[in-house]
Structure 1
Amino acid sequence: MKQIAVVIPLYNHAAYIGDAIRSVLAQTQRVDKIVIVDDGSTDDSVEIVRAFAESRIELYRQPNAGAHVALNRGIENAAGCDYVAILNSDDVFARERISKCVAFLDETPAIDVVATRLKLIDSTGSGMAPSDPAAKWFAAAWSIRASQLDLVEQLGVANFVGSTSNLIGRRTYFLKHPFRRYRYAHDYFFLLDCALHDRLALLDDELLSYRVHSANTISAPPEKLVRELLEMNMDLLTALAPELAGSPNLRRALAAYHRAAWGNVSSFRADVFVSLIAYALAECSPDQMQSHIDAVMKFSEASEFPNQALVNLDDSQTQLGARLAEKYSRLQGELRQAKAELSALRKGWRESPWLRLGRKLGIKSAREIGRPSS
C-alpha cells in the first residue's frame, strides 16, 4: 500500500490551522503522515497544533525563513511516503481530495503532479460571492480551460491553479524539483517547469477551498508581483537553457508558453520582459552573441521558415494571426469536419417541418426562431 503524507507550512494562522488539520483527518482515504512545519509563528498556531491528539501529526519548528523553505523541509521529512499533498495552513481540503488525486496518479504513471479546481472562501469559511473581485478573477482564469490552448499555454495566460495547496504529487518529483525562494511565485515556477516537461495534469473536480484574506498572494500589491514574475521568468529561462538543445518538445512548449504569456493576467508583464531581455543581452560581447546564435542555429526548426501553416490556407475568409498558425494547422482537419457537420445541421434546420409550420402560422420567421426576445 502506497504511503501518503500531507505537508502543511504554518505561519501565524491560529485562526485557520484547526480547520486545515480537521479537513485532512476527515479524508475518505487515510493519510499516513501530517507533517507540519511552523515557520516562526508568533501567535498561538503551535499550541493549536499540539492540542490535536493525533499520532500521525509531526510538528517541526524553525525561525522564519519563508514558505518555500518550510515546504521543502516538510517534503524532506515525509520520509517513506510515496505521495505528498500540500495544504497551506489557511486552506481546506474537500473530503475526497486525496482519494481522487492519488487514484489518478496511480493510473497515470507519466504524470507526477496533479491539481484540481478550487472553491474560494473568505476568512469565515463562507463561499465568496461571484461578484467579489477575487472570485471574478478565478472564474475568468478557469474559463481558459475551455479553450483549445494546451495546458502550458493556459498557464501562460494565468496561474489558475492558484496555490501550492493545489498540488499533489510523487514525493520523488518534489525532492528533485524543490520550491524556489520566491515570496509570491514559488508555486507558479514549479507549475510551469512541471507543465513544460509534460508532467502536470488537472482534474475538473472542485477539491480545494482556497481562502482569500488580506495576507495571501491574491491581495499583494501589483508592483511586488510584477517584479517577482519578471525575475521568475528570467530564472525559468536560465534553468531550461541547458536542456533546450536536446529537446525539441521543450523548445516548442517554451515558445507556446511565451506566445500565450502576451495575454497574461497573473502579473507577468511580457512587454516589460522584452526590455529586460534587451538589458541582459546588452551585457553580452559580440563574440558571446555570435556563439549563442550559432548554438540555436543547430535547432532543426532554424532551417525552416516560420509559420509555414499560413502559406496554403484553404479558407480565404479566415483571419489568422501568426501566433495561432501552428495550432490552426493541427486543427485544420477537425475544422473541415466541423464545417461539414454544421452544413448538414443547417440543411436539416431549413427543411424542418416545424419551421415550415411556423412560417405558415406567421408567428416568427425561420430566421427568428431560436433568437432570444428583446
Structure 2
Amino acid sequence: MSAPPQEEASVVGKLSTLDRFLPVWILAAMAVGLLAGRLVPGLGEALGAVAVDGVSLPIALGLLVMMYPVLAKVRYDRLDSVTGDRRLLVSSLVLNWLLGPALMFALAWLLLPDLPEYRTGLIVVGLARCIAMVVIWNDLACGDREAAAVLVALNSVFQVIAFGALGWFYLSVLPGWLGLPTTGLDVSPWAIVRSVLIFLGIPLLAGYLTRLLGERAKGRDWYESTLLPRIGPFALYGLLFTIVILFALQGDAITSQPLDVVRIALPLLIYFAVMWAGSYALGRAVGLGYGRTTTLAFTAAGNNFELAIAVAIATWGATSGQALAGVVGPLIEVPVLVALVYVSLWLRRRLLPTIDPAPEEPRRA
C-alpha cells in the first residue's frame, strides 16, 4: 500500500536529527569502540573487570538506560489487546523456540564444521532469544510497542523454562543422533532468572512506574507531550554507549582475528536475514498488520547476547572461542537490524496494510 510522495517526505522530515542519521552515529560508535579497544592498553580488561551477571557493568548500565525510555512509552492499559491475539503469540513462540534455535544449529554445523568453539558459541546465541535491544529496533521501525512488551515478557518466561533444556538438546542429544561430536552446557536456571530480572525486570518496572506516577500526577497529555520527549533520546544514547563499550571490549580480538570474525559473521548474517524475512512473511500470511508484523519480525530475529555472553564466559571462559562468537553476535546484529529498520519502514509505506492498531507516526526515540 503506497503512501503519497508528500506523506513520505513529511514522515522523513519530522524525524529528529538523531533518528535521521542513526546509521552514521552507529558506524561512528563502532569505529570509536574499535579504535579505543585497539589503541588504549588494558581498556578491555578494565571494562570487563566489573561484571553484572557475567556482563560488563558498563554494558549492563548502557542496556538499562537504553531500554527504560522505550518501556516508559508503552501504554500498559492496552496490553490486553495483545494478549488476546493468538495469531501473534503462537507465531512468536514457533519462531523463537522452534525455528530460531534449529536454524542457528543448522547454519553453525554447515558453515563452521571445522571450528567447534565458534560453532558452539553460535548455537548458544541461537538459544538466547531477545529480551532487550529488540525494543529499540521495534520502536525505531514504528512497530507495536504494547505487542513488543508482551512478546519480550513471553520470551523471558520461556527463556527461564526452556534455555537449559534446549541447550542440552542441541549440544548433546541432537548431535549424538546425527553422529556428530557432542558438548555440554553448564548453566543453572537461577543464572537465567537473574539475567531476566536484571535486563528486563528493572527497566520494565521503572517504565511502568514512570507512566503510572506521571499520568496520576499530571495526566496522559502532559506525560506523552512533555515528559516522553525529554527522556526518549536517552534510549539511543544508551544504545550508542553500549555499542562503543562492546567494540572496545573486543577491539583487539576483532582486529587481530579478522578471518575468524568473518567466518562467525557469515552464518549470523544468513540467520538474521532468514528469520526476519520469514517472520514478515508469516505475519502477513496470518493477517497481522504492519505494527505487529514488524514486532514479530524483530523479536524473532534478535538474540539475547547478554545471556549468551554470560553463559559462554561462565562455561568456557572469557577468552574462549565460544565467548568470542557470543560477542560477534551483537556486532553483526546491530548494523544488520538497523538496516532492517529502514527496510521495515519502506515496507510500511508500500506493502503492508494496517490491520491492527497503528502507532502514531512518526516516532522520536
Alignment TM-score, normalising by the size of structure 2: 0.25
Higher relative contact order (CA 8 A, sep 6+): 2
Which structure has the bigger radius of gyration? 1
- The structure in which a higher percent of residues are helix is 2
Structure holding more strand per residue: 1
